[in-house]
Amino acid sequence: MEVTLVILKPSAVQRGIMGEIISRFERKGIQIVGMKMVKLTDETLEEHYSHLIGKPFFGRIKDSMQASPVVVMALKGIDVINAVRKLSGVTNGREAQSGTIRGDYSMSVQENIVHASDSQETAEAELGRFFSENEIFNYSQHLLPYLYAGDEL
């Protein structure tokens, strides 16, 4: 099983749709193994979006991510990194497919509701950035036989 990091951005917190977004992950059968509300610091954001630091819009992304606290989540499942990226939709909410989170809730590139790790390496680094080891829980999912076939596990 993989674990991935999701951030419910200020666009989700301020619009009061945190619960709806969390429900989507739950309904899909993804296990929530860590979750907390945090305020993102400059330092954390410079690490988290280090690939965008040179871009002219980096300042506004930082402001947007600091406009309110965010919710960080650790989500577990088979191939969950890819599954959660698919559920999130492409970066630009206007382009994202209907049925995806960004496609259903966002009309913007920046105000696009969620962040989701994009690879195994990124997921590991991002989980380590936002969670300490004892904040990610290992507990059995009792409905597992109804979520996966035995040979998928």
44 near ligand TYD (CB under 6 A): no
118 near ligand TYD (CB under 6 A): yes
95 near ligand TYD (CB under 6 A): no
115 near ligand TYD (CB under 6 A): yes
Binding part of the chain for ligand TYD, among 21-29, 66-74, 107-115, 145-153 by CB under 6 A, reads 107-115
Cα dist from 28 to 31, 78, 113, 147, whole Å? 9, 12, 18, 9
Nearest to 48 by CA among 124, 103, 118, 126: 126
Task: Sheet with 2-8: list strands edge to edge.
Answer: 31-38, 70-77, 2-8, 114-116
Contact in structure between 4 and 80 (CB atoms under 8 Å): yes
110 near ligand TYD (CB under 6 A): yes
* Total residues interacting with ligand TYD, rule: CB under 6 A: 10
Phi, psi dihedral angles at 94 (to 5 degrees): -70, -25
| Residue 145: how many other CB atoms lie within 10 Å | 10
Of residues 60 and 144, the one with the C-beta less far from ligand TYD: 60
Binding part of the chain for ligand TYD, among 33-41, 73-81, 109-117, 140-148 by CB under 6 A, reads 109-117
Shortest Å distance, C-beta 150 to ligand TYD: 34
Q: Which of 13, 61, 78, 125 binds ligand TYD (CB under 6 A)?
A: 61
If 0-12 CB within 10 Å is exposed, 13-18 middle and 19+ buried, where does residue 133 land? exposed
Catalytic sites, residue numbers = 115
Residues that bind ligand TYD (CB under 6 A): 49, 52, 57, 61, 91, 109-110, 112, 115, 118
